[in-house]
Amino acid sequence: MAQEAEWTRRYEAVIFDLDGVVTDTATVHAAAWKRLFDEVLPLLKPDAPPFEEVEDYRRSIDGRPREDGIRLFLASRRVTLPDKAENPELASATSPTVQSLAVRKQYFFERVLNENGVSAYPDAVTLLHRLRQCSVPTARVTSSRNCGLVLQTAEIAHLFDVTVDGIDAQRMHLPGKPDPAAFLEAAR
């Protein structure tokens, strides 16, 4: 423990990304995105290749705000949608928008999370416990708007002092990753 306390003195705080670093939410997100695009892509462009859970998720979706991921993936299939319906009362499943797909993706994410849960990586949890024992403050940063739900499901919310998530980023008008703004906010 003395050696452990020694190395932690070099750090004023430690900031963790959430998805893929602390929790295996990539699996949950990828499954939710697959359900979404398997549902809507055949309606938007029947001849388009289907959403590939690993490749398309990593290339177009992972780490980005939800709407940015939708735009980027659909662009890879040469599909463009309006961000919002001009008349929300006329919006429907046959005329989706980026916003309506983002809402639908959230529905699928919550379903997959409830069905399968989410696991925290054991090494990350061990490190977080050690940092807490040595009074090193910890923060989590994520583009996800599901941070609270994920950490509650993984039972690790108590291991962090500060959170900057997708809800905070939207409220503070912080750009999404790879821009470092959310990490700088957590450090502040």
**Active-site choice (17, 24, 62, 161):** 17
Residue with tokens 């962090």: 160
Residue 174 class from Cβ within 10 Å (0-12 exposed, 13-18 middle, 19+ buried)? buried
Residue with tokens 């090494």: 123
Cis peptide before 175 (omega within 30 of 0): no
Q: Is-catalytic flag, 19?
A: yes
Question: DSSP secondary-structure letter at 138?
Answer: E
Cα–chain center distance at 80: 23
**Active-site choice (19, 68, 165, 168):** 19
Rounded Cα–Cα distance for residues 166 and 99 (Å): 15
- Cα dihedral sign for 178, 180, 181, 183? positive
Question: DSSP secondary-structure letter at 59?
Answer: I
Cβ–Cβ < 8 Å for 159, 125? yes
State the catalytic residues: 17, 19
